[in-house]
Amino acid sequence: MTDVLTWGSAAALVLGYLFGSVPFGMLFTRLAGLGDIRRIGSGNIGATNVLRTGRKGLAGLTLLADAAKGAAAVFVAGALFTAPAALVAGLGAFLGHLFPVWLGFRGGKGVATYLGVLAAANWPAALIFAAIWLAVAALSRFSSLSALAASLVTPFLLFALGAPTTALLFLVLTAILWLRHIGNIRRLVAGSESRIGERR
């Protein structure tokens, strides 16, 4: 049984990684004739940087697709393997977005994929995450600060909702997400962080 769980978790991790590594932001901007998104703004492949092209619809599509691939990884792994393996697939999807093999392991910050994994694992927590993100964004106009605030609350929220295993996963995901935002944190402290929609 242990061997089955081990192989199932390993397969789920790989499956999740493959889902997460699809660089939708880059694919969509190229299909729209905007060139390589990595040469625009922050150079990130996520929705916030796609928004800097001035194409709000494209940014929204990127956000949905990046979230959907995280959710899909969890749902598919849950159907094929076990509930714990589904959470492992969520980790794989998050890592796939951050470190996609197709882009030399240089991907995005992972906020949308984080939200997609959370929505599949515990949708009430995802709704609260989104509410916190929107509230902080409305007040500050900083996408990075919104993500940092919402993600910081998420593991504790999951513990409160009676989902300790999922909470442990999101402790890990939140720590990684914060590490990926070190540059943003420094700019927030220095007062030089770009606001939502700014083209820098």
Q: What is the SS3 string spanning 9-62?
A: HHHHHHHHHHHHCCCHHHHHHHHCCCCCHHHCCCCCCCHHHHHCCCCHHHHHHH
Structure tokens at 107: 């991907």
Whether residue 195 lies inside any domain: the answer is no
Whether residue 200 lies inside any domain: the answer is no
Q: What residues contact residue 40 under an 8 Å CB cut-off, 6+ apart? A: 29, 34, 49, 52, 53
> What's the chain's average pLDDT?
91
Whether residue 136 lies inside any domain: the answer is yes
Give the integer Cα–Cα distance in Å for 90 and 72. Answer: 9
Whether residue 145 lies inside any domain: the answer is yes
Higher pLDDT, 5 or 103: 103
Number of folded domains that form the chain:
1
Whether residue 174 lies inside any domain: the answer is yes
Range of the domain at 129: 2-190
Of residues 32, 53, 29, the one with CA closest to residue 41: 53
Whether residue 106 lies inside any domain: the answer is yes
What pLDDT sits at residue 4? 39
Half-sphere exposure of 175 (CA within 13 A, CB side): 7
pLDDT digits (tens, 9 = 90+) for 10-66: 999 999 999 999 999 999 989 988 888 888 777 788 888 888 887 888 889 999 999
Whether residue 162 lies inside any domain: the answer is yes
What pLDDT sits at residue 198? 66
Taking phi over 0 as left and psi of -120 to 50 as alpha, with beta for the rest, 182 belongs to: alpha
**Would you place residue 197 in the very low, low, confident or very high pLDDT band (cuts 50, 70, 90)?**
low
Give the integer Cα–Cα distance in Å for 34 and 55. Answer: 10
Whether residue 196 lies inside any domain: the answer is no
pTM for the predicted model, two decimal places: 0.92
What pLDDT sits at residue 55? 86
Give the integer Cα–Cα distance in Å for 133 and 128. Answer: 9
